[in-house]
Structure 1
Amino acid sequence: MWRELIWEMYPEAVLADPVDEVTLAEVEKRLQLPLPVELASLLREVDGVANEYGDAVVWSARRLVEDNLGMRREPDYQELYAPFDEMIFFGDSDMGPQFAYVHTDYGPGIVVWDHESDRRRLVVVSLRDYLARCLIQGNSWFR
């Protein structure tokens, strides 16, 4: 489903091979958070999505773990920013913003995080909308 949807929206997308259930379980264990259902579903089909310019619209399972743990453990980040423990960062753009799942009162949502201001703003509530806006419209609407 995801592979076809992405190629329909953006034929130039670069899609990696899928991950297995063992890898997904390891990601959740290391992050100490459950993966959002739609993100886990996408990773079962493709382990990361990049646009034609190499921007990591959706990170690989390995990068999910490395970047999230790195951000949570970085002493400077702990001093400068609100905690990231309840967030799962999963994508970025060439302009600097990073995108993360957070839990809201009405379910999971996707926020854009600005590292300069530590602003976290809800931008979409589904991975499908996120992909459409990143791949079809570019990231300009996130600013």
Structure 2
Amino acid sequence: MWKEAAAGALPDVGFRSPVDRTALTEAEQRLGRGLPAQPAGLLLETNGVVGTYGKDVVRSLDRIVQENLLFWSPNSFPGLYMPFDPLLFFGDNGGGDQFAFVLTPDRPDIFVWDHENDSRLWAARDLEDYLHRSLASSGDWHR
């Protein structure tokens, strides 16, 4: 399902080997919370989606864990940004802006965090919408 959705937006999209449920469970344990159903389902089909110019439209599971543990750490960006705890970062536009699911409250919408001004703006109604928008664009479509 997710591979077809991505390929529908960009025929030469790149995919990685899928993760297994054990790896997904271990990642959730490291994060201390479960992944939303949509990105978990995608990762079980492909461990990330690579767009034009090698852009990580959806990061690998290991990178998702690594990036979120960094963003959620109280010592990473003290006083620079609003808290990142309610967000699960999973992709970027290649220019520094990060895409995230909202964990609290649980919702399918995707928001973009602008690293220059700390704004969090609505970007897509769900993962399928995000894949179509991000793969079919040049990268800065959220503005």
TM-score between the two structures when normalised by the length of structure 2? 0.91
Which of structures 1 and 2 has the larger relative contact order (alpha carbons within 8 angstroms, sep 6+)?
2
Q: Matched residue of 2:141: which SS?
A: helix
In structure 2, distance between residues paired with 1:22 and 1:85: 24
Counterpart residue number, 1:99: 99
**C-alpha distance after superposition, 1:6-50 (max 9, x if no partner):** 222211111000000011111211112221111111000000011
In structure 2, distance between residues paired with 1:86 and 1:10: 30
The answer to whether structure 1 residue 138 and structure 2 residue 138 are counterparts is yes
Counterpart residue number, 1:10: 10
How far residue 76 of structure 1 moved from its aligned partner, in angstroms, is 4.6
User: Greater helix percent: which structure?
Assistant: 1
For residue 28 of structure 2, what is the amino acid of its counterpart? E
In structure 2, distance between residues paired with 1:86 and 1:122: 14
Counterpart residue number, 2:23: 23
Counterpart residue number, 1:41: 41
For residue 30 of structure 1, what is the amino acid of its counterpart? R
Larger CA deviation: 96-105 vs 29-38: 96-105
**C-alpha distance after superposition, 1:35-83 (max 9, x if no partner):** 1111111000000011130110000000001111112226351321111
How far residue 125 of structure 1 moved from its aligned partner, in angstroms, is 2.1
In structure 1, distance between residues paired with 2:125 and 2:32: 22
TM-score between the two structures when normalised by the length of structure 1? 0.91
How far residue 114 of structure 1 moved from its aligned partner, in angstroms, is 0.9
In structure 1, distance between residues paired with 2:24 and 2:73: 21
In structure 2, distance between residues paired with 1:131 and 1:138: 13
For residue 10 of structure 1, what is the amino acid of its counterpart? L
Q: CA RMSD in A?
A: 1.7
For residue 38 of structure 2, what is the amino acid of its counterpart? E
Counterpart residue number, 1:116: 116
Runs of 5+ unmatched residues, structure 2: none
